[in-house]
Amino acid sequence: MTSSHRPAWVEPPNRVVTALKGMVIGLILLIMIYPLAYVILNSFASPEATTTAGLIPSEWSFSAYTTIFKGGIVQRSLIVSIAITLVGTALSLAVTATLAYALTKTRQIPGVRAALYLVLLTMLFSAGIIPNYLVVKAFGLLDSYWALIIPVLASAFNVVVMRNFFMQLPRELFEAARMDGAGELSIFVKIVLPLSKAVLAVIGLFYAVAYWNSFFNAMLYLNDASKWPIQLVLNSYVLQGASMSSMNNTEMYNLPSSQSVQMAVVVLATVPILIVYPFLQKYFTKGVLTGAIKG
Amino acid sequence: MRRLTHALRRHKAIYLLLLPGMLYFLLFHYLPLAGVSIAFMDYSPFLGLSGSSWIGLDNFAKLFDDPEFASTVRNTLVISFLQIAFAFPAPILLALLLNSLLSGRVKRMVQTVVYLPHFLSWVIVIAVWQQVLGGAGALADLFQQLGLGSVNVMANAETFKILLTAQVIWKDVGWGTIIFFAAIASIPTQLYESAAVDGAGPLRRTWHITLPGILPVIVLLLILKLGDVLSVGFEQILLQQPSVGAEAAQVLDTFVYFRGVLGGDWGIGAAAGLLKGVIGTLMIVAANRMARRAGSEGLF
Amino acid sequence: MSRRAALGLGFGVVAGTALAGCGSGGTRSSGTTKAAAPPPAYVAPPVYPGAIVPEVPGVPTAYPSMPKKLTRTVTQTPGRGGVVRHFHLTWGPPATPLADNRWWQGLNERLGIDFKVTEVSAGNYEAKFATMLAGGDLPEVVQLTFSAGCLKAIKQGAFADLSETLSGDKVLEYPNVANVRTEQWQACTINGGLWGVPIDVPVELLEFRYRKDWADKLGFAKPPADAEETAELLVAMTKGKPEGSKETWGLTAFPGMALELAYGMFGVPNLWTYEGGKLTHAIETPQFEAAIAWLAKLWKNGGMHPDALALGSQTDRYRAFVVQGQVGMAVDSAANFHRPTSQFGKVVAELDGAFAAFVPPGHDGSAKAVFRKSAGVYGINAISAEAAKDKDRLAEILRLFNWRRGPVGSEEWYYQGWGADGDYFTRGADGEPVPVEGTNLDADKGAIGYGLTPQSWIFPTAKECVETNSQMVRQSVASPVEGLQSDTQDARGAQLDQLFATYINQIVVGSRPLTDIEKYRQAWRGQGGDQIRREFQEQLKGR
C-alpha cells in the first residue's frame, strides 16, 4: 500500500470539497456493493429461507455449498477455468503486444497500414457462429481446451488500445536508443515493454476477464461436460430468461436449483477473477513513467 | 518486387513481430468470413454452404420490408446515442474524481468496489434491480408509505431506454475507469508539479494536464463506440422485453433473434450482421476523419 | 395436439408458453404426401397389482406405492459395445462425469455400450444444434424440439424416417416401443415421415393448486365457483394479508399461470376453431377478449404481483414464491406437486392439505372450464440419418430405445429411476425404495436419464392425482390443426409470440386500452397469421 503522504506541491485538502467527495463516493460504494452483497449473503441462505425481497436471509446454512461440492463438477470446472485463463492471457498478451508495436510503424514501413486496416475490420465484420465453428473444426480443435484459447487469441480492440498507448510514448527515448545502436527488437523489449506496464496490466486484465467469463465457445466446441469451464456450468445452473422458459420442460425430475444454490455458484464463479484485480492495481495507480526514467 | 524484398530485409524485426498476430487474424477471422455469403443464401446448416440455394438480396429485403424494421432501427439508435451521451463519459468522470483523491488506500478500495458489478451476469443484475426498483421493490414500498401511489420503474415503456442506460452505467462505470487510470498513470508527474509551482489549482491541473493526457484514449474509444452504434446489449434487453413490449424494446439484435435464430433462418442474421459492418465502417471512417481534422491522432 | 401445446401448456411460468399456446399452432403433419405406411401398432403397457388405471386415455397409469415385484422386459444386452452418442436438452447442471457416476457406469453395463452425452441448456439449444448440423457432427440420437430449426432439419433429411421400420406389427420387435400411443406417433410424424420416439408427457400436464387455508381465512369456504369469485379471491389473497406481515399475492406471473387460468375459465379455444370450412384463431374469438379483459381487471384490482410480466419469464423466481408460501394460486406439472421429494412436494406436505388441488370453474359458473389437450409429446428422440444408413446400427439403437422405454414396473424402468439396489436406494421389504444416506441420484443422472422413459406417477397421492388429471382431460379439447403443417407457422412462430408480449402484456397491465386487442389481431394477421390460416385450411379441406 502506498501511503497517503501528500507531495509538497499539492495544496492541503479543502474540508468542504473533501466532505462532498466523501459523500458522493460513499453513495457510489453503497450502490455498487449491494448486488454482490446480496448474492453472497443469499448463497448462505437455507433453501427454504431465501427471501425474494431481502438482503439478509432469515435462516443461515452452508447447504448450498455442500450440495455443489458433492457433485464434483464445480471443482473440476474451476480448475479448467483457471488454467485456461492463465495460459490464454499469457499467449494473448504476447501476441497483442508484438502486433500492437509493429502496427505503430504505419508511417515508416510498407504494408503495416494495410495490416492495421485488416485488424480494424475484424471489429466490424464477424462471420457468425456457424462459419467460426467450421473453421475450429477444420483445425481439429473441437473437444480440445485449445478451442477456448486459439480462436479468441487476440482482440482487435485490445490491439488498437495497446497500439494507442505505445504511440504516446515519448519518441526521444527511441531516438536515443537508436543512436546507441539498438535494433527494433531490443527497443521493444528493453524500452517499450518496461514503460508500458500500466497498459499491459490493463489489457492483461481484459483478456483474463474475457477468458474467465466466456462460456459460449465452450458450449459450442466442447461436447464433454467434464471439460466445461466454470462459466458454462454456471450458465447451466442459472436459468437464462425468456428463450429458456419457452422450452421449459414439464415433467422435470430436477426442478431448477434453489436460489441459494444458484447464488453459491455465482459466488464461486466470480470471486476467483475478482481477486486478480488488486494485484494488478498497483501498475496503474502510480505514475510508472517517472520511476522508469529515473531507474 | 525488389522494393518489397528490400523492405522485408530492412524491417525484418517488425515484420516478425507482425507475423503471429496477423496469422491469427487471417486464420480465425478472415477465413470464416467466407461464411458471410450466408447473407445471400437461404442457408440451411444441414445442407451446408454448397447445398443451400442462393437467393440474392432476399434476406436484406426481408429486413427492410418488415413493418417493425424502421422502429427497430430507431430504438437501436436512440439507445446507442443515449449510451454515448451518458454511459460513455461516466467512467471518465469517475476516474477523474477518484484520481483527485489523495489517499492511495481509499482510491484503491473504491476502485475495487466500483468494478464489482461488471462481473455479474445480466440475469442476476436484472433480478437485483427488480428487487429494488420493481413493482414490489424497496422503491415501491417507499412510495406506498409516502402515499404516492404505485411505481414500477422496471416496467415503464416510456422510460425504458433511460433505464437501460442507467443499468449500463451502473454495471460498467467502474470497469470502464480502468483504462483511463492506465492513461492517467502514464502522465508524467513532473507536469503536475511544474503546473502547481506555476500556481494552477487542482481543477485547472485536471483540465490542463489530466484531460489532455487521456484525450487520445477517449477519442479512440469514442471512435470505436461509434462503429458499434447498431449493437446494444442483447441479453440485457431480451430479458426485459416482456415487461415493456417490443415497441419500446426491440433492437436490431433481438429483432434478428426472433426472426432469424428462433425462426430457423440464419440468412437474416448474416444479412443484418453485414449491414451493421458496413454502417459501422462508414461511422468509423467519418469519425476518424473528424478527429484528425480536430487535430487528434485519430484511430488510423 | 401437439408439442406446441405440450410446450404451451407447459407451465405456469413460461412466457413462451402462453405465447406458444396463443400465437403458435400445432404444426406437424401426418402423411399428406405419400401413401403412408400404417402407424406402429399399439400395445398397452403391462399393468401390475396396485396400479390405478385411469379411464381417460393420456392420463398416466399411477401407483400409490412401488410395485413389489419388478419384471424384466429385456433379456439380451441391447448394445454391441461401441460408442453411442446422444444430444440432450437440460435444465440444470450437467451429470456427474462417468468416472464418479455409478448410475451411468451401471447404465453402460446394462445397455452394453459406451454411452456419451452432449448436454446443452435449453437456452443454447438452437445455436448448438445448428453448429452440429453444419459440421456434420450429429450424434446418433438427437432430442428434437419442435422449433423452426429442428423442423427444417427434419424436412431436409437430417434424420432417419422410421415409418417403414416401425410400421404396423414391425414395431413389435421392440415391444416396449410399442407402448407409445398412436396419437403420440402422429405427433412425431412430419411431412409423411416418422422421425423418432416421442418424449412422453401426460396429455394434460398441469395441475392447479390454491391456498385453501388462506381462502378459509378470507371467507371463501369453497373453491371459487366462477370467474368473478376467482378474481375476488385472488385480490383478497393479495390484499387481505392472510400471512400477516408477510407479503402475499394471488398470482405471481403473467402470462404463465394467469393466462392458463383465464383461458381455461373463459374457454378460449385450443389454438384454433374450425367451423364451416373456416379456421378462427383463438385470439380472434370473443372468449379471448373476455379472458384478457378479466386479467386486466384483476391486475387493476391488485390480484397479481406487480412484477408479473417479468416473473413470467423467470421460472426460478416464480417457483421460489411458491416454496416460500407467498403465492395464492399456482400451476405446475402435476407430478411436481405430488412427488414427495420435489421442491413443491415438500411444500405440499408441509402445508398438509392446505395447498389444495382444484379445477378452475367456468367463467359464469354454469359452463365448465375448457382446457387444452396435447398429444402427450414434448419432443422427439430422433436418429441421425447418417447413423441409420447402417441397418445393424439402426437396429441396435432401436434395441437401446426398447430397453430405455421399459414400462412402469419393469426392472429397466426401475434402474433408470432409482439405480441399482443399494447404490442410491435400497428396496425395503415392502418394495419401497429407501434413499441411501449421502447419495444424490438426481445430481448423477442430470439430464441423461431424461427423454425415453415413459411417464410414471409413483407417489402416495397417486389416486388424487389421477382423479384431478382425468377431470381436466375430460374438460379439454384438442386443436383442430393437430398434425397439420405450416411453414409460415414454423418460421414466424417466435415473431408472433413476441407480438403477444407487445400488445397483450401491456393491455393486461393497463398500459394499453383493451381496444388495442383489435390492433394486435391486425398485426398478427399481417405478420403471418392469415398466411398460416390459409396453409392449415387447405390441408383441412383436403381431408
Residue of A nearest to B174 (CA): A32
| Residue C371, strand partner residues | C476
B276/A contact by beta carbon, under 8 A = yes
Residue C281 has pLDDT above 90, yes or no: yes
What is the phi/psi pair of residue A210, to 5°?
-65, -45
Nearest to C491 among B45, B67, B265 (CB): B265
A272 prior amide bond cis, ω within 30: no
Residue C14 has pLDDT above 60, yes or no: no
Contacts of residue B113 in chain A, CB cutoff 8 Å? 29, 32-33
Report DSSP state, residue C511.
Answer: S
| Residue C207, strand partner residues | C332
- Which chains have at least 3 CB atom pairs separated by less than 8 Å from chain B? A, C
Q: Is C397 helix (H, G, I), strand (E, B) or coil?
A: helix
Cell numbers for C217: 381465512
Contacts of residue A237 in chain B, CB cutoff 8 Å? none
Q: Is B230 helix (H, G, I), strand (E, B) or coil?
A: coil
Q: Tell me the per-residue pLDDT of C49-107, one tens digit each, with 9 for 90 and over.
A: 889 999 998 899 899 999 888 999 999 999 999 999 999 988 788 899 999 999 999 99
Q: Which of A155, A113, A158, A152 is nearest to A136 (CA)?
A: A152
Q: Tell me the per-residue pLDDT of B188-242, one tens digit each, with 9 for 90 and over.
A: 888 888 888 888 888 888 899 999 989 999 999 999 999 999 999 898 998 898 8
Report yes or no on A35 lying in a domain: no
- Which chains have at least 3 CB atom pairs separated by less than 8 Å from chain C? A, B
Report yes or no on A17 lying in a domain: no
**DSSP E strand stretches across C268-407:** 272-275, 278-281, 329-333, 355-358, 371-372, 377-383
Low-confidence winner among A49-53, B162-166, C308-312, C399-403 (lowest mean pLDDT): A49-53
- Cα distance between residue B182 and residue B176, in whole Å: 11
Alpha helices (H) along C339-382 = 343-351
Helix axes A259-281, A197-213, angle to 10 degrees: 170
Residue of C nearest to A73 (CA): C96
- Cα distance between residue C227 and residue C258, in whole Å: 12
CATH architecture of the domain covering B40-293: Orthogonal Bundle (1.10)
What is the phi/psi pair of residue C410, to 5°?
-95, 160
Residue A48 has pLDDT above 70, yes or no: no
Pairing of strands C371-372, C476-477: parallel
Cell numbers for A104: 505503430
Count of CB atoms situated within 10 Å of the CB of C321: 20
What's the CATH number where A73 sits? 1.10.3720.10
Give me the DSSP letters along B104-124.
HHHHHHHHHHHTGGGGS-HHH
Please give the pLDDT value at position A62.
85
B199/C contact by beta carbon, under 8 A = no
Cβ–Cβ below 8 Å for C495 and B135: no
- Cα distance between residue B29 and residue B263, in whole Å: 26
| Residue C381, strand partner residues | C143, C197
Please give the pLDDT value at position C12.
29
Report yes or no on A184 lying in a domain: yes
Cβ–Cβ below 8 Å for A254 and C91: yes
Q: Is B134 helix (H, G, I), strand (E, B) or coil?
A: coil
Cβ–Cβ below 8 Å for A241 and C313: yes
Spatial contact of C400 and C389, defined as CB atoms under 8 Å apart: no
Residue ranges covered by each domain of chain B: 1-30, 40-293
**C-alpha gyration radius of chain A:** 24
Which three-class secondary structure string do you get for chain A? Answer: CCCCCCCCCCCCCCHHHHHHHHHHHHHHHHHHHHHHHHHHHHHCECCCCCCCCCCCCCCECCHHHHHHHHHCHHHHHHHHHHHHHHHHHHHHHHHHHHHHHHHHHCCCCCCHHHHHHHHHHHHHCCCCHHHHHHHHHHCCCCCCHHHHCHHHCCCHHHHHHHHHHHHHCCHHHHHHHHHCCCCHHHHHHHHHHHHCHHHHHHHHHHHHHHHHHCCHHHHHHCCCHHHCCHHHHHHHHCCCCHHHHCCCCCCCCCCCCCHHHHHHHHHHHHHHHHHHHHHHHHHHCCCHHHHHHHC
- Cα distance between residue C12 and residue C330, in whole Å: 7
Q: Which of C297, C299, C278, C300 is nearest to C289 (CA)?
A: C297
Report yes or no on A51 lying in a domain: no
Q: Domain span at residue A185?
A: 65-242+254-294
Please give the pLDDT value at position C150.
93
Distance from CA of A153 to the nearest CA of B (A): 7
What is the phi/psi pair of residue A236, to 5°?
-80, -20
The residue whose grid cell reads 393420456 is C58
C372/B contact by beta carbon, under 8 A = no
Distance from CA of B240 to the nearest CA of C (A): 7
Task: Show Cβ contacts of residue C316 under 8 Å, excluding neighbours closer than 6 positions.
Answer: A238, A239, A256, A257, A259, A262
Cβ–Cβ below 8 Å for C134 and B150: no
Tally of CA atoms within 13 A in the half-sphere of A259 that contains its CB: 30
Q: Which of C532, C539, C538 is nearest to C148 (CA)?
A: C532
Q: Which of C254, C123, C20 is nearest to B123 (CA)?
A: C123
Please give the pLDDT value at position C296.
96
Cβ–Cβ below 8 Å for A35 and B125: yes
| pLDDT grade for C286, boundaries at 50, 70 and 90 | very high
Task: Domain count for chain A, please give it.
Answer: 1
Q: Which of C85, C91, C336 to mutate to test the interface with A (most CBs of A within 10 A)?
A: C91
| Residue C356, strand partner residues | C210
Report yes or no on A290 lying in a domain: yes
Cβ–Cβ below 8 Å for A243 and B262: yes
The amino acid present at B200, given as its one-letter code, is A
Q: Tell me the per-residue pLDDT of C289-319, one tens digit each, with 9 for 90 and over.
A: 999 999 999 999 999 999 888 888 777 777 7
Report yes or no on A31 lying in a domain: no
Residue B163 has pLDDT above 90, yes or no: yes
Cβ–Cβ below 8 Å for A255 and C342: yes
Cβ–Cβ below 8 Å for B189 and A287: yes
The residue whose grid cell reads 370473443 is C286
Nearest to A245 among C14, C131, C442 (CB): C14
Contacts of residue B111 in chain A, CB cutoff 8 Å? 281, 285
- Cα distance between residue C483 and residue B261, in whole Å: 24
Report DSSP state, residue C134.
Answer: H
Please give the pLDDT value at position C332.
86
| Residue C189, strand partner residues | C194
Stretch C115-139: mean pLDDT: 92
Cβ–Cβ below 8 Å for B124 and A9: no
- Cα distance between residue C320 and residue A49, in whole Å: 10
Cβ–Cβ below 8 Å for B46 and C151: no
Cβ–Cβ below 8 Å for A259 and C378: no
Q: Tell me the per-residue pLDDT of A92-145, one tens digit each, with 9 for 90 and over.
A: 999 999 999 999 998 888 999 999 999 999 999 988 899 999 999 999 999 999
Nearest to C20 among A240, A243, A246 (CB): A246
Report yes or no on A56 lying in a domain: no
| pLDDT grade for C18, boundaries at 50, 70 and 90 | very low
A23/B contact by beta carbon, under 8 A = no
Mean per-residue pLDDT of chain A? 83
Whole-prediction pTM: 0.90
Residue B56 has pLDDT above 60, yes or no: yes
Distance from CA of A224 to the nearest CA of B (A): 22
Report yes or no on A13 lying in a domain: no
Cell numbers for A57: 436471509
C120/A contact by beta carbon, under 8 A = yes
Residue A256 has pLDDT above 70, yes or no: no
Residue of C nearest to B131 (CA): C307
Mean per-residue pLDDT of chain B? 89
- Which chains have at least 3 CB atom pairs separated by less than 8 Å from chain A? B, C
Mean per-residue pLDDT of chain C? 88
Spatial contact of C216 and C236, defined as CB atoms under 8 Å apart: no
Query: Does residue A102 or residue A51 have the better pLDDT?
Result: A102
The full set of domains in chain C, from first to last, is 1-28+205-372+482-543 (3.40.190.10), 31-54+63-203+375-457 (3.40.190.10)
Stretch A47-64: mean pLDDT: 69
Spatial contact of C17 and C157, defined as CB atoms under 8 Å apart: no
Cβ–Cβ below 8 Å for C501 and B245: yes
Tally of CA atoms within 13 A in the half-sphere of B254 that contains its CB: 29
Q: Which of A203, A197, A207 is nearest to A273 (CA)?
A: A207
Helix, strand, coil fractions of chain C, as percent rounded to 5? 40, 15, 40
Residue C118 has pLDDT above 90, yes or no: yes
Cβ–Cβ below 8 Å for C378 and A133: no
- Cα distance between residue C85 and residue C505, in whole Å: 42
